[in-house]
């Protein structure tokens, strides 16, 4: 597996609120992923070849992208509502392909990728509010060891992107400001705390 960003965040995803299993909502649930702190607009890349399951509103105006990577499923949470061109249900993605950018979290002073992993053994929605303490599907996995072992993207040639050659450099092929406003317009507040962070 590859790391989803070109750098490892200086704030460890194994500590504090960022770690898998950290308490949320005053202990009523546990954090279902690892938080990779990064500036808004940071490119987010596929960690392996796969097929997009869905992209949809997630938390505080941000979106999430679900990808079936064959031997595991990843939810790339808290990206911008405007995902990379072609990233939609059924689309094939290659390892290192651009999926989107780190998004704005309305009302918070931090931004990140909220990274969740599932084995793929279960089916259906990844968020299951009746399944404590994580409120996630039964095949949820701790992504920490996978992130620890992940190869870094930097210095490696980008994988071929047959659909959008202009994205091979990981560049900003899509707008920065407009999509944030879109996120604010129909985002904040309606996707409860059980979904994100």
Which residue ranges make up the site for Zn ion (CB under 5 A)? 33, 35, 114, 197
Contact yes or no for 113/76 (Cβ under 8 A): yes
Contact yes or no for 66/84 (Cβ under 8 A): no
User: What radius of gyration, in Å, describes the C-alpha atoms of the chain?
Assistant: 15
To Zn ion, the closest distance from the beta carbon of 77 in angstroms equals 7
Tokens of 166: 């202009």
To Zn ion, the closest distance from the beta carbon of 19 in angstroms equals 9
Tokens of 92: 């094939």
Which helix H or strand E contains 116, and what residues bound it?
A: strand 112-118
**Comparison of 82 and 114: residue with beta carbon closer to Zn ion:** 114
To Zn ion, the closest distance from the beta carbon of 85 in angstroms equals 26
**Comparison of 18 and 69: residue with beta carbon closer to Zn ion:** 18
**Comparison of 31 and 96: residue with beta carbon closer to Zn ion:** 31
To Zn ion, the closest distance from the beta carbon of 193 in angstroms equals 11
To Zn ion, the closest distance from the beta carbon of 84 in angstroms equals 21
**Comparison of 8 and 159: residue with beta carbon closer to Zn ion:** 8
**Comparison of 60 and 83: residue with beta carbon closer to Zn ion:** 60
| Alpha carbons 185 and 174: distance in angstroms, whole number | 19
| Alpha carbons 62 and 109: distance in angstroms, whole number | 14
Closest chain position to Zn ion (CB): 114
Q: For residue 93, which of 179, 2, 197, 175 has the smallest C-alpha distance?
A: 2
């Amino acid at each position: 597996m590859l790391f989803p960003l070109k750098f490892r965040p200086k704030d460890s995803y194994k500590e504090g609120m960022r770690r898998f299993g950290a308490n949320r909502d005053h202990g009523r649930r546990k954090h279902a992923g690892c938080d990779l702190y990064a500036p808004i607009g940071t490119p987010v890349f596929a960690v392996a070849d796969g097929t997009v399951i869905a992209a949809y509103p997630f938390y505080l105006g941000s979106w999430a992208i679900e990808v079936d990577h064959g031997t595991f499923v990843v939810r790339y949470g808290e990206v911008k509502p405007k995902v990379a061109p072609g990233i939609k249900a059924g689309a094939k993605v290659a390892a290192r392909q651009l999926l989107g950018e780190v998004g704005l979290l309305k009302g918070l002073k931090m931004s990140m990728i909220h990274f969740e992993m599932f084995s793929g053994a279960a089916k259906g929605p990844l968020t299951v509010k009746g399944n404590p303490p994580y409120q996630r599907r039964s095949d949820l996995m701790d992504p920490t060891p996978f992130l620890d072992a992940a190869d870094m993207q930097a210095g490696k040639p980008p994988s071929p992107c047959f659909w959008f050659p202009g994205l091979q450099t990981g560049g900003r092929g899509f707008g920065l400001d407009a999509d944030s406003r879109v996120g604010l317009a129909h985002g904040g507040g309606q996707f409860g705390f059980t979904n994100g962070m």
